[in-house]
Structure 1
Amino acid sequence: MTFGGLNDIRGKTIFGQHVVNMKSQAEPARRAGGKTRVKKDQGVNASPATRRRKASLKGDEAASPDEDTPTTRAPAVNRAAAILRLLARSDAPLGVNSIARHVGIVPSTCHHIIRALEIEDLISVDPDDRRCSIGLGLVNLARRALNQNLPEANAQFELDSIAEEFKLTTSLTRLDNRQRMVVVAVAEPEVPFAIRVNIGQRLPVWASATGRLYASTLDLPNGKLQKHFNAVKWAVQPTFEEWHSQVEYARTNGIGVDRGFFVPGIEIHAAAVHEYGRMQGTIAALTTIGTQDKNREQELHEALRTAAERLST
């Protein structure tokens, strides 16, 4: 059973392409002062510079942009980030034309961005076929972020200890700046059957056991809570009343629990990791429903709370 497939089901960006009619369109004749005035066609009769400019604009429209890319006043940065995300998702290196089509830019612009990213070692370009893949420079950046925010060595020790003691999969997540939890560390027990979680996997902050914890840290009226609850794509839809009672349990006990609502057949137990008093991540345990009796579950909750306290700053 693979929990890592969750990101593929719920978070995968589907790239589409809008077909734009590239034919030039002549405007109808207009009569002014008794004379017929025809606007000059900007297609065949246009100057080479005008044709190149219009082709560039239509080329940008011909492909849909990366759905994960926000709109800002720094489009070059947005496009570079979209290219990096695309290459990170791809199972194989991609050429410039393929990247440009997915990201929604013309190949010439894409080439310049790729060249800049290659110089910074953020992507790697094969010297033979010029196909692109993620560069090792990103590994260094990611390692610095993990070491700065959640000490990796300490976190892995806590995950390994709980995974081995309770014979289940554990994970550490961190809240990013777009209200998503990102898996940054994982431990799996040495057993024949275990749930797999992939590092880098993302899920909405309001989903799963994490969502109960996150909601419990906020002082929001029920109306706003229900709006966030309704936005979650549940596998098995709980009622808002059920979910709200579980939020209150998380507030009282410091543990969020999801019993098969977000991932069918999977129980997720989580405790919040805080930074300077604010929830910034979780340490979670995943198991199949019914494998932990009540006493063992309470022991698991205590272990998660203790580990979360040690990882908090």
Structure 2
Amino acid sequence: MPNARSPRVRAVPAVTRAVAILRLLSRSPAPQSLKAIAESLDLVPSTALHIVRALLAEDLLQVDPQTKRYSLGVGMLPLARAVLENADFPSLMRPKLEELSSRYGVTAIGVEVPDLDNMIVVALARSQAPVRLHVDIGSRFPALISATGRCVAAFSGQPEKEIEKRFRLLRWHNAPTYDAWRKEVDQVRKQGFSIDRGNYIAGVTIVAVPVLNAKGTISHTIAAVGLGSQLERATSLALARDMRTVAETIAPQLSIHA
């Protein structure tokens, strides 16, 4: 009988290092020197230079001729645009987010959750309210922060030790204790949504619901952001119910259920 195991993937160091450089610069608030890149990734400077030159040639990086510092290049844009335009979740979510934003006056956000470290904004409908959360497509946040983070902790299936380790690194305006947070996570598992009232950002309420795959594990979340005075208890609960309906509607349409 043929061996049914998946073929072993062999490491390709140059590719791995190139991806590491791109990820490093995507997280850096300012352009980085070659020395800083090499030191951050524990690369030999000459190796880093060869990879950086190849990325420059493909317009995936750009360099300031004065400072000799590197940042992501415009060649990243068509790649990112293709991901967003061709992916199921953003295209399914856009009209739903617009509807939620219009109905409740909130900023509605579709988030991808690739791991316990980051969540990435992949769809967005902005509120017309005078006070809005500063967020854009591609924005990254710690995966366990705020209402979305409680959903991730509840439905990721990850070991509690890994979750606690990352929780200890989070920065909140009004941080809950870990024990209190774990009780909230347990509640999210029962009710299917989370509401953060001023823990993450003072005066701001964030409502989140998980989007689950066929195994019951979280792959995405839907979040809504508004002022605490705007999203009082009854309104935020109604919003959470509507968001949960959206999540349950789109989940079967995603390729993750194939």
- Cα distance per residue 1:165-189 (max 9 Å; x no partner): 1111111111124532112222212
Preserved CA contact (<8 Å) 1:174 1:282:
yes
Deviation at 1:292, TM superposition (A): 2.0
Q: In 1, distance between residues paired with 2:113 and 2:159?
A: 22
- Cα distance per residue 1:185-234 (max 9 Å; x no partner): 22212233322223322223222112221232266897776555444333
Deviation at 1:301, TM superposition (A): 0.9
Q: Name 1:43's counterpart in structure 2.
A: none
Long gaps (5+) in structure 1:
1-72
Q: Name 1:280's counterpart in structure 2.
A: 219
1:153 aligns with 2:91: yes
Match of 1:292 among 221, 228, 231: 231
What is the TM-score with the length of structure 1 in the denominator? 0.63
Deviation at 1:106, TM superposition (A): 6.1
Preserved CA contact (<8 Å) 1:183 1:201:
yes
Q: Name 2:199's counterpart in structure 1.
A: 261
Q: Name 1:101's counterpart in structure 2.
A: 36
1:310 aligns with 2:253: no
Match of 2:189 among 251, 255, 278: 251
Preserved CA contact (<8 Å) 2:117 2:166:
no
Preserved CA contact (<8 Å) 2:211 2:220:
yes
Long gaps (5+) in structure 2:
1-10
Match of 2:120 among 173, 182, 192: 182
What is the TM-score with the length of structure 2 in the denominator? 0.75
Q: Name 1:165's counterpart in structure 2.
A: 103
Q: Name 1:301's counterpart in structure 2.
A: 240
Q: In 2, distance between residues paired with 1:215 and 1:91?
A: 27
The alignment yields a C-alpha RMSD, in angstroms, of 3.3
Query: Structure 1 residues 172, 103: CA separation in 2 closer, same or farther (over 3 Å shift)?
Result: farther
SS for the counterpart of 2:141 is: strand
Aligned length: 238
Between stretches 164-173 and 131-140, larger displacement belongs to 131-140
Query: Structure 1 residues 310, 142: CA separation in 2 closer, same or farther (over 3 Å shift)?
Result: farther
Q: In 2, distance between residues paired with 1:76 and 1:284?
A: 37
Preserved CA contact (<8 Å) 1:83 1:99:
no
Q: Name 1:29's counterpart in structure 2.
A: none
Preserved CA contact (<8 Å) 1:246 1:257:
no
Equivalences for 1:62-73 in 2 at 5 Å? none
Aligned sequence identity (%): 35
Preserved CA contact (<8 Å) 1:82 1:103:
no
Between stretches 215-224 and 249-258, larger displacement belongs to 215-224
Deviation at 1:298, TM superposition (A): 2.1
1:121 aligns with 2:56: no
Query: Structure 1 residues 124, 215: CA separation in 2 closer, same or farther (over 3 Å shift)?
Result: closer
1:140 aligns with 2:75: no
- Cα distance per residue 1:6-28 (max 9 Å; x no partner): xxxxxxxxxxxxxxxxxxxxxxx
